[in-house]
Every structure is written in C-alpha cells, then in structure tokens.
Chains A and B, each alone.
Chain A
Amino acid sequence: MLKKTLVTLAVMGLLLAVGCTQVPVAAQREEPVVPKTAASLDLIATATPATPMPTEAEPGKASFNTEPESDIEIRLINQTWASPAEVKIGNFYPGARAEWEIKIHNGNDIWTEFFVSYMVSDEKREGYALAPVEAKDWVIIEDSTPVLAPKETKKILVVLYIPEGVAVPDKKWEFWTVAGEVSARAVQIQMATRWLVSCR
C-alpha cells in the first residue's frame, strides 16, 4: 500500500515538473544559432582579464577561444573585426526583450582593450526612422569595455528592452552599436552593426 502511494506521489511530482517547464518567451532566433546567455537588465560591466595582460603573445602558445568558425574567420584571423553587420528584430513591442551576441575579434598579437557602445547615426535604411532619444536607455551592452587576448574572439551580449507601456514614436527604427580598439592613434577605427527594429 505504502509502495503504491509513493509511486503515485512520484508520478505527481514528475507531471508537475513537466508542466512547470517554461515555454521560452524571449526572441526566437534563426540561423546561425548563437548560444544564449542569461542576463539581467543591468548588465553593464567592465571586463578584467583573468590573467595579467602580457605585452605580447607567448610564441607557440595559442590563446583561448581562438578557433575560427568559418572560412572568413580564418582569412581574418590577423585582422580586427566585428560581426554581424546587421541584426533585424521583428514583432517587437514595449515589454518585450530581444537579445543577440555580437562577435568581436582581436587581430593583434597583444592584449587589447575594446569599446562597444550604442550609437545613433543619421544613416538609416529606407522606411526606417532614426532611433528615438530614449532608445539609448533601452539598449544594454553586457560588457562595454572588453579586453581581448591576442587573436581572441569574444561574444558580447546586447539586449533591447523597452519597458511596458512606453510609447514608441515609430514602428520601424534603426540604431547602431559600434565596436573598436581603444588606442592612442590619431585615426581610430570603429565597426558599426546596424540594428533594424520593427514594432507591432
């Protein structure tokens, strides 16, 4: 009798566990699949290298996370790059949250500090408005000053979250995120990912 009751309770527990599994509400992703990182909305943080920054890469010693994932990444192993060039967010609405990881690569032979920041350009795709002023508060960049090892590729989470009830002036609008090396050079280079947002 006790055995049967225990079995019944176990079945109940199992059913409850299955039933409580959440259906993902966050954005659906299409290829390429990028691993999703759990993140809260106050994720601005400063990266600190796990090990002291050497001035040069140790000869013959590979840095972590250096494996290129495509032919283009193999070709660009010695160049600094950012990817993707464009991200499209569809069916967005106040109260929703969308997130994507942009990749940045350090093509240098030394540890290099980067910046990743929000930007509004006067350049916009046809049919899209410039991002409203408030949008800078809706975009959260997980790590805005990452420090990358030689030849390292790092994924930086970017979250778009508009608080519920906020009025968005345009249904379709564009903002940019820019990434580049922090350097003392007179001519600095940054790479801009275009974010195209379509609201319901």
Chain B
Amino acid sequence: MKKLLRIRWLTILVALALALIPAGSAMALPTADVTITATPEYLSMTNSEPTWVMNAVAEATTYWWTVGGAAPSPEPFEAEDMKSTVTNLGSVISDVKIHGHDFTAATLPWALDIDGSPGSDNVTIKWGITGTTNVAAMTFLTLSDVEIMDSLAATDGTEKWCMNLLTGTFTSGEAQTGIVTLTIFKHV
C-alpha cells in the first residue's frame, strides 16, 4: 500500500515538473516585448473634379484645367479660377502630396517631361493652388511625390488647385490616358 502511494505521489510530481517546463521557457522571453500602438484616426478626402477630358489636342499647345479653361487671371491665382477642390474629411490635420505617371496608350504612350520643353511624345504638366504667384511659379508634375497641400484642417479643411498641360510633338494620333495621384497623410 505504502509503495502504491509513493508511486502515485511520484506520478503527480512528474506531471507538475512537465507542466512547469513550458512556463519556464516563457519566463526566458525577452524582457521587453514588441509593442504596437495606434489611435483610431481616420483619413478621408474628396476631390471635386476627378476627370479631365481633353479630346483632340494640337502639338506644342498649352491646355488649362481651370474653371474658364484658360490661364488664371488675375494673378496670384484666385480660388474662383481653380478647377477642383480637395476637402479633408478625415479626423486629423493632414497634408496632401501629388505625383504623376507616364501616359498609357496602345503603342506610343507619352512620357512626362519635367523641364518645360516637351519633345517627341512628351508632355509637361504643371499644377498650382490658390495663391500661386503666377503661371511661371506653377510646379512641374513628376513621377515623385511633392507636397501640394499642407495642414488641411480635420473634418472640412479645403484647398483649390488647377493644372495645365503643354504638348510636345506626336508620332501617333492614338488616344492617351494619364493619371495624377493625390496622397493624403497625417500632418506632423
């Protein structure tokens, strides 16, 4: 009987020892665990004029994406001449960056030119906002992000903007599709 009791105690002790082994390895974890924190902030924006349909264009000509379809006047640029309004609907003060893309076409897509003198199958696009000093002060649209709007107030902060496009020469008369990307992000 005594022997049987000893065996039973031994069994329990072995079970306890086995149970403690994983706990021991857990205690050997790094002292500071990786942490992740985030607050429920929301990013949301609208752009009132999402398209620019140009139809047929001529070589070496400037086209305007403004209310009147012409260069803003007077200068500096006034809000009434700007084509589109960006509104920050999110819950945080935010900035907006802009970048362009080369065009797409069936065979000979245009490339974005960034020096203001587009050549064969090149076009230059520039952008401006309310308050831009004049046409010369507009900024070239490139493949890289550039900040276009700063510190838009949360919920309803707005900024108005416009663009122009200067064509180069064409080796094909096919349709071209271009994209401009606006990226909204938290202002710090």
Among residues of A, the one whose C-beta sits closest to the C-beta of B144 is A122
Among residues of B, the one whose C-beta sits closest to the C-beta of A24 is B33
| Per-residue contact bits, chain B 64-100, to A (CB 8 Å; 1 contact, 0 not) | 0000000000000000000010000111101101000
Closest 3 pairs between A and B when the two form their complex, measured CB to CB = A19-B19, A81-B44, A23-B26
Residues 109-123 of A at the B interface (beta carbon under 8 Å) = 121-123
CA of A73 to CA of B90, assembled, Å: 10
- Total count of chain B residues near the partner, CB < 8 A: 57
Are the C-beta atoms of A189 and B45 separated by less than 8 Å? yes
| Per-residue contact bits, chain B 33-48, to A (CB 8 Å; 1 contact, 0 not) | 1111111111111110
Are the C-beta atoms of A85 and B32 separated by less than 8 Å? no
Interface membership of A51, Cβ < 8 A: no
CA of A88 to CA of B186, assembled, Å: 13
Chain A proximity of B178: nearest CB distance (Å)? 6
With a CB–CB cut-off of 8 A, which chain B residues contact A126?
Answer: 188
Are the C-beta atoms of A100 and B12 separated by less than 8 Å? no
Chain B proximity of A25: nearest CB distance (Å)? 6
Are the C-beta atoms of B22 and A19 separated by less than 8 Å? yes
Are the C-beta atoms of B11 and A92 separated by less than 8 Å? no
Interface membership of B61, Cβ < 8 A: no
Are the C-beta atoms of B15 and A80 separated by less than 8 Å? no
Among residues of A, the one whose C-beta sits closest to the C-beta of B8 is A8
Name the prevailing secondary structure of the B interface residues: mixed
Chain A proximity of B158: nearest CB distance (Å)? 14
With a CB–CB cut-off of 8 A, which chain B residues contact A108?
Answer: none
Interface residues of A (CB under 8 A from B): 1, 4, 8, 11-12, 15-16, 18-23, 25-30, 32, 70, 72-73, 76, 79-93, 96-100, 107, 121-123, 125-126, 176, 178, 183, 185-194, 200
Are the C-beta atoms of B35 and A28 separated by less than 8 Å? yes
From the candidates B34, B92, B178, name the one contacting A186 in the complex (CB within 8 A).
Answer: B178
Are the C-beta atoms of B36 and A89 separated by less than 8 Å? yes
From the candidates B4, B11, B51, name the one contacting A185 in the complex (CB within 8 A).
Answer: B51
With a CB–CB cut-off of 8 A, which chain B residues contact A178?
Answer: 183
CA of A19 to CA of B33, assembled, Å: 21
Chain A proximity of B101: nearest CB distance (Å)? 9
Are the C-beta atoms of B36 and A192 separated by less than 8 Å? no
CA of A80 to CA of B40, assembled, Å: 15
With a CB–CB cut-off of 8 A, which chain A residues contact B95?
Answer: 123
With a CB–CB cut-off of 8 A, which chain A residues contact B12?
Answer: 8, 11-12
With a CB–CB cut-off of 8 A, which chain B residues contact A191?
Answer: 43-45, 90, 183-185
CA of A19 to CA of B15, assembled, Å: 10
Q: Decide: A28 near B22, CB < 8 A? Known: A11-B12, A176-B185, A187-B180.
A: no
CA of A167 to CA of B16, assembled, Å: 41
Chain B proximity of A24: nearest CB distance (Å)? 8
CA of A187 to CA of B37, assembled, Å: 33
Are the C-beta atoms of B50 and A186 separated by less than 8 Å? yes
With a CB–CB cut-off of 8 A, which chain A residues contact B44?
Answer: 76, 79-82, 107, 191
With a CB–CB cut-off of 8 A, which chain B residues contact A91?
Answer: 30, 32-35
Are the C-beta atoms of A11 and B15 separated by less than 8 Å? yes
CA of A20 to CA of B21, assembled, Å: 8
Are the C-beta atoms of A76 and B41 separated by less than 8 Å? no
CA of A76 to CA of B154, assembled, Å: 13
Among residues of A, the one whose C-beta sits closest to the C-beta of B32 is A91
